[in-house]
Amino acid sequence: MVSKPLLFAWLASLTAMIGSLFFSEQMGFVPCTLCWYQRILMYPLVLFLGIAFYRNDRDIVKYVLPMSLIGVLMSGYHYAYQKIPSLHEFSVCTSGVPCSGQYINWFGFVTIPFLSLIAFVFITIMMLVLWKRK
């Protein structure tokens, strides 16, 4: 039986990876330090969730859930850092592209870290659904 939460989580991670590669490789947006950390957390999820979906391995929750929760915290902080100027005094990007930069700002609130946050939250929810069904 196909596990829909595994499928949806894998598709979300795959979409996030393709989107981040599109922004950097096609659009020429240079990732900041926090963006790299989010990529480090997201890209392995594509492989882990893809294999878990193929094998219908519901035990993957214990590996993916911590990574996705850390991703939620990281991308949530990055989004807050972009949108709340008073956080800029606690700079984590000391060189290169500033973490407060906004290559996109669709509808006045959708930035790249926001998209990352949505992907990590969705993957986390799918893992919690899978865990509850187990």
Q: How many domains does the chain have?
A: 1
Neighbours of 72 (CB within 10 A): 20
Neighbours of 70 (CB within 10 A): 15
Specify the pTM: 0.94
* pLDDT tens-digit map of 78-132: 999 999 988 877 777 777 788 888 999 999 999 999 999 999 999 999 999 999 9
| Residue 55: CATH number of its domain | 1.20.1550
Domain encompassing residue 112? 4-133
Residue whose token pair is 């989010």: 38
